[in-house]
Structure 1
Amino acid sequence: MKQITFLSLICLLTTLCFGQRTFILNKGSENYSAVITVENCLDGTCEGKGTIELINKKSNLPFQTLATEDLYFYIDSTQSLTVNIIELYGEQSPFIFDDFNFDGAEDLAIRNGNNSSYGGPSYDIYVYNSINKKFELSEELTTLAVENLGMFQTDHKRKRIITYGKSGCCWHIYTEYEVISQIGLVKVYEVEKDAQLGDFVTVTTRILKNNKWKSSAKQYKTSEYYK
């Protein structure tokens, strides 16, 4: 019995044991804290089916429970997880609180595995519906967070959503979208960098103006452009 109790204590204090874990998240959101349950954690990596119970910080009452088939994240030596970090080719938190559609309400992105380009982080994007008073899955924003290099970024000053994509070492694309009321996402700007010729990189810029695309291209020496 003493041995069983000791092993149970180790499971609670470290990530050596494989099993369901629960975390409390109080930071990252002005409006909500969260009780997060994930199916499995081992050696600092948590993954599998997960539930996120959002708690209203003002009333301290349950607000909404969301679920994912593959909640995936890392925890550090203090048993903590990150929130609201989006780094291209770096750390991307399992939970991102932000106003993704620029309507003034806080939205939420939840990690749903590693299904974006090159096995990168992917997310389910939930936007707050002010009429129904709850978070609802946005299919088009979720698609952006799956078909590109991880989670997209937001530029609140210009009200743009920004994505990054690539193919191999030598082709990259940067894209900006606007969120148009009653219409949805509209691509308005992109920069394509094609260095597949080796010695030269062709930079093509496309801008949507008055519902028409304008395109321009310039070629640079690769060694000069990327120095």
Structure 2
Amino acid sequence: MSYKLLLPILLMGNLCFAQHQFELKDVSKNYDVKINVENCENNECSGKATVELFDKKTSKKFQTLSSDDLTFYLNEDQKPTSNIIQLYNEQSPLIFDDFNFDGMEDMAIRNGNESSYGGSSYDVYVFNITKKQLVPSEELTLLAHENLGMFNTDSERKRLITYSKSGCCWHLTTEYTVLPQRGLFKVYELEEDATGGEKVKVTKKEFIDDKWITNIKEYPINEYYKEN
């Protein structure tokens, strides 16, 4: 196995534990990464963890971040994946991207299963050019806790996309942009309501020219989901 059990026992807070360490080289544009996590068994790791970032150019340690419950599975190479966000499927323990579209690389670290329906939840950090460090983003972390796992990033349109649901038959897709000095701003919603059984009520809302435009249509349920 490619991960290493590090001894002696290490200390994090008031809890002592032996750590399993993973080294990741190609997950980020700027950093090499070492993950130290408390528990690994049967290709699944979880528990308290630290994530050490090393500057690719200098190899010097850049920053250490932590997670109370860094849960992930090991791939066929016995390493954690990275940068995978699949709805209802795999979501990696580490996500690197430019979440606020300022040209700097940001980072999300999985921390438990606190999003909707017990899905993956993340602590999100953005690069602060003044402090020259990754700093916690409360509003982006909230976005990654209140929906179906980690949000998606559309870098071309500069949108963050979330998904939520209620049971089998109600789904909501929401898109946000990030405004300088103001943070997240909702610009799009797509609500698909099939709770009636025979038809799907589709409500589309878009923020255009400083006002919301709403369009509502109904489709036979078999035709709608066949096309979508």
TM over 0.5: yes
Deviation readout 1:19-48 (Å, 9 max, x if unpaired): 631111111111101111001111111111
Shift of 1:90: 1.4
4+ residue stretches of structure 1 with deviation over 2 A?
A: 209-212
Alpha carbons 1:19, 1:41 under 8 Å: kept: no
One-letter amino acid of the structure 2 residue matched with residue 88 of structure 1: L
Q: Give the corresponding residue for 1:216.
A: 215
Q: Say if 2:182 is the partner of 1:183.
A: yes
CA offset at residue 214 of structure 1?
A: 1.7
Distance 1:37 1:100 in 2: 25
Report the identity percentage.
Answer: 57
Q: Which residue of 1 aligns with 2:11?
A: none
Q: What is the rounded CA distance, in whole Å, between the counterparts of 2:45 and 2:144 in structure 1?
A: 20
Determine the structure 2 residue equivalent to 1:163: 162
Q: Please state how far the C-alpha of 1:213 moved relative to its aligned partner.
A: 1.6
1:193 aligned partner, one-letter code: E
- Do the aligned residues in 1 keep the contact of 2:4 with 2:21 (CA within 8 Å)? no
Instruction: Give the Cα separation in 2 of the matches to 1:83 and 1:226.
Output: 31
Q: Structure 1 residues 26, 12: CA separation in 2 closer, same or farther (over 3 Å shift)?
A: closer
- What does the per-residue CA deviation read over 1:112-168, in whole Å, with 9 as the maximum and x for residues that have no partner? 011111111110000000110000000000111111111101111110100111000
- 1:33 and 2:37 are equivalent in the alignment: no
Give the secondary structure class of the aligned counterpart of 2:222: helix
SS of the aligned residue for 1:105 comes to coil
Query: Against the structure 1 CA distance between its residues 208 and 40, is the aligned structure 2 distance closer, same or farther, given a 3 Å change threshold?
Result: same
Report the 3-state secondary structure (helix = DSSP H, G, I; strand = E; otherwise coil) of the residue aligned with 1:158: coil
Alignment size in residue pairs: 214
Amino acid corresponding to residue 115 of structure 1 in structure 2:
E
Q: Quick one: distance in 2 between partners of 1:12 and 1:81?
A: 13
**Separation of aligned partners in 1, 2:220 and 2:177:** 32
State the 1:211 CA deviation.
Answer: 3.1
Question: Counterparts of 1:133-144 in structure 2 under 5 Å?
Answer: 133-144=132-143
The residue that corresponds to 1:55 in the other structure is 54
- Distance (Å, rounded) in 1 between the aligned partners of 2:140 and 2:41: 31
- Quote the offset at 1:212 in angstroms: 2.2
Show the 5 A alignment for 1:47-196.
47-196=46-195
Question: Unpaired runs of 5+ in structure 1?
Answer: 1-8
1:123 corresponds to which letter in structure 2?
Y
1:226 alignment partner, SS class:
helix
Quote the Cα distance in structure 1 between the aligned partners of 2:148 and 2:52: 28
Q: 8 Å contact 2:84–2:95 — kept in the other structure?
A: yes
Task: Name the amino acid aligned to 2:194.
Answer: A
TM-score by length of 1: 0.91
Moved more, 73-82 or 39-48: 73-82
What is the rounded CA distance, in whole Å, between the counterparts of 2:145 and 2:27 in structure 1? 23
- Whole-Å Cα distance in 2 between the matches of residues 162 and 96 of structure 1? 15
Task: Give the helix-richer structure, 1 or 2.
Answer: 1
* Structure 2 unaligned blocks of 5 or more: 6-16
Please identify the structure whose Cα radius of gyration is greater.
1
TM-score (structure 2 length as normaliser): 0.90
Q: Which has the higher strand share?
A: 2
Residue type of the alignment partner of 2:39 = N
CA RMSD in angstroms, aligned pairs only: 1.6
Aligned-partner Cα distance in 2 for 1:220–1:79: 46
